[in-house]
Each structure stands twice: as structure tokens, then as C-alpha cells.
Amino acid sequence: MSFFDKLKEGLKKTKDTVFGQVNDIFKHFVKVDEQMLEELEEILIASDVGYSITEEIIEKLTDVLKDKRITDPQQARQELISIIRETIGDNEPLSITTTPSVILVIGVNSVGKTTSIAKIANCLKNEGKSVVLAAADTFRAAAIDQLEIWSQRAGVPIVKHSEGSDPAAVVFDACNYAKSHKCDVLIIDTAGRLHNKKNLMDELSKINRVIERELPDCDRETLLVLDAVTGQNAINQAKEFIKTSNISGIVLTKLDGTAKGGIIISIKKELGIPVKFIGVGEKMEDLQKFDADEFTRALFDE
């Protein structure tokens, strides 16, 4: 099964409960009118697209329909698809051209951060890149063991210390390992962080200083892992992280477990940060680089 097929299957809940209704509206209405647009607006708001983004989408759709004098619902549907695709934004690949490059991964516990790290490593390895992981989440019980198990599944090395050790020291050793072994990418796991845990944010600052000192000219990505199941709460969570971290991309997990897949439409618009990876399952290959065209097609079952 291709990833596009898995994506379509993974978005089933979102399609069935939300965008299935959108498609139904275009089927049931004989012509475009105010009632149709109002029903569309209600469904999009309910899908966790977000109120302000939905208003913007409907306003754009209304203008296009008037300008092109479109009255056929199926033509209107195609215009809506184009507007949503535009709202999602362009694909923005990882910036990892240096050897080594660094990917720092942050996010609160339980969002799928550790497993996402291994899956990203697997994805990059399949592209021919050499990858090493750094187990810098030394605070959470079993976090190191969990990452080690996943590193073995991905077939990539891991740099680790004992539980409770200094995360910055782990990163120091990992940076030197990446340099000495000429690794293409170093991926760093960090402790689950909330904006009001100052000690953890200070620790993240220490980690960044070590990277700047040991790998001053490397390409760097800071990826925030968000759980799609939490819907608009994920947006609010991200806004808190933005206050303290220079986030370059979003990893959106668990799209297969929620009807709130519409959240991806508003992420770029509300946060100004691109989605770079999405997850639609538990298997190693079920997290892949985000493709906005494929996502939009899958969402509307094109």
C-alpha cells in the first residue's frame, strides 16, 4: 500500500464525519446559494479548521463564485478544494544540507515524540542519509530505553547516558559522535516541555548553546510534535512553544485516530509554521514528509 493510500485510510474519520458532509452538500444542492454556503461554514468550523480561518475560506469562495459566475455545485466544490489547498501552504522540506545537520525535536509527553523521532530517522535513512539519535530526554522514566528500542527498529545508532544525567552532556557527546562518524543528520530527543516549566526551558537553552558551540555552521531544524487528536488545543499548545523556541516545522501525529484532521488547514495560517511530517499509523513507514497536494486530494477523496 502506498503512503497516499494509507493517508486516505488514515483520514477516514475526518472524511466520514466532516469532509464527507462537505461532499454531500455539493451533491444535494442543485445550485449554489446562501444556504449552501452557510452549511459549509458550519461544517468547517465543527471540523477544527477554526472559526477565523473558516470565515476567510468562505469569504474567498464567495468572491470566486461571484467573479466566475459559478452556480454549479460541483464547480464550486473544485474552487473550495483549490482555496483549501492554498490555505494549507506550500511544501517546505527539511533544511539539512550540511554534514552533520541537526534536528531538535520538542513537544509535551504523550504526543508521540519519541516514536516520531525514530520514524523520521527511518525516513531519512531510506533516502540514503546516515542518522544518529541523541537520548537527551533524561528526566522521564524509561524514555532512554524507549528511544533505544526504536533506534534498533530503525537501524540507527544512539548516543545515551544514564537516566537523570545532564541532557546537555548527552548532546555534547552526540555532536562529537556525529562529527567523528561523519553522520548526515543528528536527531535530538528532549524532555516533554510545558511553557511554565522554567527549568526545562533553561535546559533547552543549554542544549542549544552546546549545538551552537560544537556544530556552529550546521543546518538546524527545530520540530514541534503535535497530537492531531487534540484539535485546536494543539494550536494553543504550539503558540506557547513559539514564545520560547524558534520552531521551524510541525510534526502532526495520530491523524488516523481523530476526526479533527481539518486542524492541518489552519496550522500554517495561524502559526506561520509549515507542517513537515504527518503520521497516520503505528508502523515505521506510517510517518512521512508532508505533501499538501496529496493531503488535499485525500481529504476530499479525489
Domain of 140, CATH number, reads 3.40.50.300
Domain count, the chain: 2
Angle at Cα 187 formed by Cα 266 and Cα 257, nearest 5°?
A: 40
Instruction: Give the pLDDT score at 38.
Output: 92
CA dist., res. 153 & res. 163, Å (int): 21
Of 300, 44, 231, give the one whose Cα is nearest residue 61: 44
Tell me, yes or no, whether 96 lies in a domain. Answer: no
Taking CA atoms, 168 is separated from 118, 132, 209, in Å, by 20, 16, 9
C-alpha cell at 202: 533553561
| 143 shares its domain with 281 | yes
Tell me, yes or no, whether 270 lies in a domain. Answer: yes
Instruction: Give the pLDDT score at 195.
Output: 46
| 293 shares its domain with 146 | yes
Domain final position from 88, 111, 142 = 88
| 67 shares its domain with 135 | no
| 82 shares its domain with 138 | no
C-alpha cell at 156: 540507527
Tell me, yes or no, whether 212 lies in a domain. Answer: yes
pLDDT means over runs of 10, the chain (302 residues): 78 79 87 91 81 92 94 93 91 94 91 92 96 93 90 95 93 98 97 63 88 96 92 84 87 84 83 91 88 88 70
Q: How many CB atoms lie within 10 A of CB 246?
A: 9
Instruction: Give the pLDDT score at 5.
Output: 82
Whether a cis peptide bond, with omega within 30° of 0, leads into 157 is no
User: Which CATH number does the domain housing residue 58 bear?
Assistant: 1.20.120.140
Tell me, yes or no, whether 51 lies in a domain. Answer: yes
Tell me, yes or no, whether 94 lies in a domain. Answer: no
| 29 shares its domain with 164 | no
CA 294 to chain centroid, in Å, comes to 15
CA dist., res. 156 & res. 182, Å (int): 14
Question: What is the per-residue burial (b if ≥16 Cβ within 10 Å, else e) of 187-214?
Answer: bbbbbbbebeeeebbebbeebbebbeeb
Instruction: Give the pLDDT score at 194.
Output: 47
Domain final position from 88, 114, 139 = 88
| 41 shares its domain with 80 | yes
| 54 shares its domain with 202 | no
C-alpha cell at 79: 474552487
Tell me, yes or no, whether 95 lies in a domain. Answer: no
266 within 8 A of 235, measured Cβ to Cβ:
yes
Instruction: Give the pLDDT score at 177.
Output: 98
CA dist., res. 111 & res. 109, Å (int): 6
CA dist., res. 160 & res. 239, Å (int): 30
Tell me, yes or no, whether 47 lies in a domain. Answer: yes
Domain final position from 56, 88, 120 = 88
| 44 shares its domain with 134 | no
| 160 shares its domain with 251 | yes
| 127 shares its domain with 166 | yes
| 107 shares its domain with 84 | no
Domain that holds residue 286: 101-299
Instruction: Give the pLDDT score at 193.
Output: 57
Cβ contacts of 248 within 8 Å, gap of 6 or more: 95, 220, 221, 222, 223, 273, 276
In this structure, are strands 158-159 and 131-135 parallel, antiparallel, or unpaired?
A: parallel
200 within 8 A of 148, measured Cβ to Cβ:
no
| 120 shares its domain with 176 | yes
Report the predicted TM-score, pTM, of the whole model to 2 decimal places: 0.91
Tell me, yes or no, whether 186 lies in a domain. Answer: yes
